[in-house]
Chain A
């Protein structure tokens, strides 16, 4: 189709050399015509509506006194809140690491040829996905009721070599970590298993043919490739875990949400203190999301021919383009300009 257009315009150009082109002639030279883009009236209307709703919301955030932004500001960096925040972060980091470590082991056990490892791993995942996290945390905290003393001794007897009071051994923090990491392990095991299964069988064959030891095959060949499909789900889980830590407030462990509760029970400023917690959760989730982008980008090495630019690179490029555009004068949008362009195109 372009061919025909070019031929036509070439003929036009030929005639144009002897006689100046008339308006009628230009009618078939599509290069010389102005393009009018489709107008999306409905899209604009909906856009305006959505914008109105968003603005209305923002307006209410500012004007509604009951949000109590002054109270939010007062408590946002208060030592108690920051301590709670620290504990939330610690819980997320510890339970996340333990959970994913145990999850990796469970996933490898699930994929192993040993029927015992396989079924034990399956049962673990089955059990800890079945018990609600809230219930689990409470059970760990009350383990002393089932087993008053824990220790090492002679199997199947009551004789202990070393033993401890369960209540001192499993503190609130330990109960929270146990509950969160076991819960996390069960979920991450399935995510990691899915990632491993997504790696091409040929990769296993190639590493076997090269005589690579098992730990090299798993840690350096399979898992880095599996990471690409594991990571989006894993970050989902970590963000879920971050907010899930608020559940351990039931055993009076002073993480972010619990501290906020304690404070609003004292001063009755329920909404402002919940907002303090919400904003902190939003900030942490945002940081994790940004981290996710860069970690995923790292593991995309080799999977994409050219890595897409980071948002910062994109922004820089956009700014430099805009800057350059400001410098150069706007080209005259006359038909002569378009004609000149089409001539050079034909050449």
Chain B
């Protein structure tokens, strides 16, 4: 509904409105006086894969979380396919959405967390089926079928009845990705998906993300895996101190960074 009211700011055709266009405009956020995001602007095209890089505490995770309204913003706004996150425009006023509506819009944006955050008391299949069944999108038995299909997709067909603690970190993260996919989100957010993993388990998770990138879901990935970002991302965003310092293709950002901080950071991690 608000897609039309915001159309003048969204320079895309209406058919893209179903495919995961993310717009971040003038977003600022402070925690007790300390500014973690400063006037951030970023447009992510439908189907695009964007990697957000930056040193620890640079605000990259906070930025990611504003896209799903897990973090509210102090100034600025975020839209997904022209829909404001957390608010609704009526006339010249912005109304804060009711929790129910926030939840509904959230299902368009999936999140994969650094610590997986799987539900430990539910099996892998139950973890995946929980949201689609609870939101009455599918019946309980269809939910189980859906879960089995998604588990096959991430290469864990034999782990449907395993509890998260019986799985390795890499397997847990793959279940978490399957869980996020169960709601067929238009946008998937990855918050350092491999940071909590042992080095030899990183590969299996990156393989799954790589497959997703090919499928045309919009992916926004906060990561420390520079090599992976370079390979998979269409664009790289470099953030430091809450400022977006650099946006460009991997070739641009890694090949000829324009900002001194980017050079310094890349010099340390490459």
A and B interact: yes
Cβ of A302: which chain B residues have Cβ within 8 Å of it? 120-123, 163-165
Q: Do B130 and A220 touch (CB < 8 A)? A: yes
Q: Which of A181-236 contact B (CB under 8 A)?
A: 200, 202-203, 205-214, 216, 220-221, 224-225
Q: Does A299 contact B (CB under 8 A)?
A: yes
* Bound-state Cα–Cα, A206 to B131, Å: 11
**CB within 8 A of A211: which of B106, B120, B122, B166?**
B106
Does any Cβ of A come within 8 Å of B100's Cβ? yes
Cβ of B78 < 8 Å from any Cβ of A?
Answer: no
Asked whether A225 lies within 8 Å of B121 as measured between CB atoms, the reply is yes
B68 part of interface (Cβ distance < 8 Å): yes
Q: Which of B117, B118, B166 has the most CB of A within 10 A?
A: B117
Q: Which bracket fits the contact residues of A?
A: 20 to 34
Complex contact B134–A216 (CB within 8 A): yes
Given A211-B131, A302-B163, decide whether A206 and B113 contact each other with a Cβ distance below 8 A. Answer: yes
Is B107 part of the contact surface with A, judged by Cβ < 8 Å? yes
Provide the residues of chain B in CB contact with A211, threshold 8 Å. Answer: 103-104, 106-107, 131, 135, 183
Residue of B nearest to A228 (CB): B121
CA distance A213 to B101 in the complex (A): 10
Instruction: Say yes or no: A209-B130 contact (C-beta < 8 A), given A202-B115, A304-B165.
Output: no
Partner of A202, one of B113, B131, B134: B113
Q: Tell me if A74 counts as interface (CB < 8 A to partner B).
A: no
| Residues of B bordering A, CB below 8 Å | 68, 70, 99-100, 103-104, 106-107, 109-111, 113, 115, 117-123, 130-131, 134-135, 163-166, 179-180, 183
Return 30 A-B CB contacts under 8 Å, by A number.
A202-B113, A202-B117, A203-B117, A205-B111, A206-B118, A207-B119, A208-B70, A209-B106, A209-B110, A210-B130, A211-B106, A211-B131, A211-B183, A212-B131, A212-B134, A212-B135, A213-B103, A216-B130, A224-B121, A225-B120, A301-B121, A301-B163, A302-B120, A302-B122, A302-B123, A302-B163, A304-B165, A305-B163, A305-B165, A305-B166
